[in-house]
Amino acid sequence: MERRWVMEAANGCKDGLDFNPMKEYMVLNASQRIAIAVLCTSLALLSALENLAVLYLILSSHRLRRKPSYLFISSLAVADFLASVIFACNFVNFHVFHGVDSQAVFLLKIGSVTITFTASVGSLLLTAIDRYLCLCYPSTYKALLTRGRALATLGIMWVLSALVSYLPLMGWTCCPSPCSELFPLIPNDYLLGWLLFIAFLFFGIIYTYGHVLWKAHQHVASLAEHQDRQVPGMARMRLDVRLAKTLGVVLAVLFICWFPVLALMVYSLTATLSDQVKKVFAFCSLLCLVNSMVNPIIYALRSGEIRSSAHRCLAHWRKHLRRRGLEGSKEVPRSSVTETEADVKITPWPDSRGLYCSDC
């Protein structure tokens, strides 16, 4: 009872108390704060750079950015990029620097973190549905999922994620409801509702992906049966199987990174947490950053089209740098002998060594 009163006071539920970012939630000691700062900043920086690279490779290619599949991957990259930046800034500010905000600003920050991670899971669900439609309805896939429908679906998903995430900012706070043991100003009933919403998204991914894996297994069997002769659509079947495996890896990483956090959230709804458990939760929260960091690596390694876009862009930039190097070398005064030797070394370089990327 006394601990609950302290939690309510910390969340500003008692009259006459100013808003405080809750010392009850700031449980890390000095060495742990340093570890959190280093880990969070490093993971967030890597994740942000990787997701920016994925976005660049997709958006710089006219062919990729018009495909519904890569619109969903772009949405995932945007969500993971925003999650990395917003989560890292707010997490470090709260746990390391003990930053103080007004109630509205604090709820805006925590809502912004929530929307990015919610949209990330939602993008994975849409990607799984896209793979399901591609595998189960290959002949009508383009008619079923047009670019306009993909954009409309993404818009609905982001709006729904925003609506769910900003409910506390719109007034659903923990006064007079019981406050969460893990999040200041967040009521337990809202946390339960958000967990149910995330569970629904996970169930949708599992249900949809079960069909994708089953269809991929059928494709593998068909490939083995017809491996000695050419079959129409074999290249597309190999692509579908490869993307299905990609989804499997992404889904496995998703659960590994999210299960500890979600399990502690569920546990916090039924028990009073010690400071040690809160410290464990703070470090487990960094696994969400790991998930955002791993997603672009998986897609870059397993998507042949993104790899091809990367190769074209790298070849374009290498060619551009070589041109700049040639222009710079002409500006340096040299003897006629040196110029002749340099020209002999540079002239034979064939343009065919790299592919020019007009889209990059």
* pTM of this structure: 0.77
The residue count for the chain: 360
Domain boundaries, the chain: 25-222+241-315
Using the structure block, give the residue that is written with the tokens 């995330």. 198
Q: What is the DSSP annotation of 322-353?
A: HHHHHHHHHTS---HHHHHHHHHHHTT--GGG
pLDDT at 308: 73
Among 264, 259, 216, 267, residue whose Cα is nearest residue 240? 216
Name 144's bridge partners: none
pLDDT at 238: 59
Q: Which residues of 125-135 are buried (b: 16+ CB within 10 A; e: fewer)?
A: bbbbbbbbbbb
* Tokens encoding 228: 């000695």
Q: Are 25 and 184 within 8 A, CB to CB?
A: yes
Q: Tens-of-pLDDT digits for all 360 residues of the chain? A: 445 444 544 455 544 334 444 677 888 888 989 999 999 999 999 999 999 988 888 888 778 888 888 899 999 999 999 999 999 999 998 888 887 788 889 999 999 999 999 999 999 899 889 888 887 888 888 888 889 999 999 999 999 999 999 999 998 887 766 888 888 889 999 999 999 999 999 999 888 877 777 776 676 666 666 655 554 555 555 555 665 666 667 778 888 999 999 999 999 998 888 889 999 999 999 998 999 898 888 766 667 777 777 677 777 777 767 777 655 555 444 433 333 333 333 333 333 333 223 333
Q: What is the CA radius of gyration of the chain?
A: 26
**CATH class given for the domain over 25-222+241-315:** mainly alpha
